[in-house]
Chains A and B, each alone.
Chain A
Amino acid sequence: MKELTGETWRVGCHAETPITGRVVIIQSEADLHKVCDGDVIVANQTDVNYTPQMLIASAVVTVEGGRYSHAATFSRENKIPCLIGTTGIMNELKDGDVVVVNTRTKTITVQETRKEG
């Protein structure tokens, strides 16, 4: 198991227990159709167009943003567990990996890596 701590420094919303889910990498709006119920959205940042998908995700993880970013604000309003400012995460994870997002410790643990092919 690999643990990514990055430079996570803001939490949109605390989840009482760590969240386990399948990673979906969102490079742009064109990838949003890949998100299914319970997935963990991993994106550079989010914007208004991510709203429906954020509502069905189990957690949201972004590279950019801060206390008042779209991801942090919307997650807080809707009690979606969220980690902001996880530098390098887009290169560390890929679609289908299974991760544990812990908003208390501000860590993401890779539980299962998707096999290529």
Chain B
Amino acid sequence: MNRVQSLAKMCQSRHLSLEDRYSITAITDVSQMLPSGCIESAIKHYQGIIRSNLWYFPILEDVSVDVFLHRWNEVHESYLGVAEEIFSRLLKSQSTDSLVDADLLESVIRSETMRGWVGKRSPSGLDALLNNRAESLEELLQDHFDSEELDELLSVGGVCSDAIFASSETEMQRLFGQYRREHGDTNLTVESLKESSNTDVPVIILREFCRYSIEEFNKKLSAFSRTLDVGTKEESSREWLTSKLEKLSGDTFISATKLFKEIQVLNYLNLNLEVKYSFKGWAGLMHVVAFTACSNTTNIPSNVYEMHTKLKKRGEL
């Protein structure tokens, strides 16, 4: 777990540096200037682009979780770098027209290719690694538990959650709850943000769950208003899991414990860090804004290679 905790810190610290370089208000201003509906349709639009193109990433055989975490970190460091390039163009020009550029599109395609390499649809990606570990664990335990108990064991044990290793949904719910205790239902404004430090709850929520959009923040705050106090969380499942695993013999116990830990790490990456720092987060928003600007100009709905060829030809005229 230490490795994934330090990965979380590295991701967060890259965003803090970004905020230091540009200021939180400059970043929220750019999210605010994006075309209406752009943010709320960003994930669906991005998924459409991901699914309708071929991505030419390398395919590796199964790797260790540590190697994968290292690769995921490197990929997302450069993914954020490309997002920053897109952002700085938007900041400077205040227009998405500045993103219609063959060279920039090439960087964005390359960046998305690498992200896809460690993503859901890659044979060397997160889901593949997770499924591999889950299948091994299921195979290992199937003779020791009945099917219903095994299903429960895998489901609950694979996402053992606590204050640190919670899903993004649970973390966001907790943070909005804290905001409401401190500020009531008062909407976030640019003015109130100017007085905030980068460790204050509103800034954390903006960074991790609202793609730096104040409008998104206020929309979520309003949607949460009826639900924040009614959560009925599961009790900690760690003790339950330990009591079940203790019934296993030496070797099986050791193998099962190792696989459970790996699955928990991969699930934390999948259910928490991916949400904040990959294509569903702000860095992803910047990528999809660039794809959309190129799509609109070239009149090509989703084929990113055709867009690139058309822009390249246009530049050569």
Point out residues on A near B: beta carbons under 8 Å. Answer: 10, 27-30, 32, 37, 47-49, 51-56, 67-68, 70, 72-74, 76-79
B234 near A52 with CB under 8 A, answer no
Q: How far, in whole Å, are A106 and B44 apart by their CA atoms in the complex?
A: 27
Q: Determine whether B43 belongs to the interface, using a CB cutoff of 8 Å to chain A.
A: yes
Please state if A52 and B231 are interface contacts (CB–CB under 8 Å): no
Using an 8 Å CB-CB cutoff, how does the interface string of B231-255 with A read, 1 for contact, 0 for none?
1111000000000000000000000
In contact, A73 and B230 (Cβ under 8 angstroms): no
* A76/B234 contact (C-beta < 8 A), A56-B226, A67-B158 known: yes
Beyond A28-B41, A68-B270, list 17 extra A-B contacts (CB 8 Å).
A28-B44, A29-B43, A30-B40, A30-B41, A49-B40, A52-B220, A52-B224, A55-B230, A56-B226, A56-B227, A67-B134, A68-B159, A68-B267, A73-B159, A74-B169, A76-B155, A77-B233
Is the pair A27, B44 in contact by a Cβ cutoff of 8 Å?
A: yes
Question: In the assembled complex, which residues on chain B have CB atoms less than 8 Å from the CB atom of A78?
Answer: 231-233
Residue of A nearest to B156 (CB): A76
Q: Is the interface of B mostly helix, strand, loop or mixed?
A: helix
B40 touches A29 (CB 8 A): yes
Within 8 A of A (CB), among B181-239: 209, 220, 223-224, 226-227, 230-234
Q: What 0/1 readout, one digit per residue, does chain B (2-44) give for beta carbons within 8 Å of chain A?
A: 0000000000000000000000000000000000010011011
Minimum CB–CB distance from A104 to chain B (whole Å) comes to 12
- The docked-state distance in angstroms from the alpha carbon of A72 to that of B152 is 12
Q: Do A67 and B220 touch (CB < 8 A)?
A: no
Interface assignment of B65: CB less than 8 Å from any CB of chain A: no
- Contact status B170-A28, CB under 8 Å: no
Q: Report if B102 contacts A (CB, 8 A).
A: no
The answer to whether B302 has its CB under 8 Å from any CB of chain A is: no
> B40 — which chain A residues lie within 8 A by C-beta?
28-30, 49
Q: Smallest CB–CB gap between A75 and chain B, Å? A: 10
Q: Is B88 at the interface (CB under 8 A from chain A)?
A: no
Say which residue of B41, B155, B170, B173 sits within 8 Å of A72 (CB atoms).
Answer: B155
The verdict on A49 contacting B37 (CB below 8 Å), with A73-B167, A77-B170, A78-B232 known, is no
A37 CA to B230 CA in the complex, in Å?
13
Decide: A74 near B170, CB < 8 A? Known: A48-B275, A67-B155: yes
If A27-B44, A30-B37 touch, does A77 touch B167 (CB 8 Å cutoff)? yes
Q: Which residue of A lies closest to B234 (CB)?
A: A77
- Considering the chains assembled together, what is the distance between the CA atoms of A55 and B275 in angstroms? 19
11 of the cross-chain contacts (CB-CB < 8 Å) are A48-B209, A52-B220, A52-B223, A55-B224, A55-B230, A68-B263, A70-B168, A70-B271, A74-B167, A74-B170, A77-B161
Chain B residue, CB-CB nearest to A37: B226
B223: nearest residue on chain A (CB-CB)?
A52
Given contacts A28-B40, A29-B40, A30-B37, are A73 and B271 in contact (CB under 8 A)?
A: yes
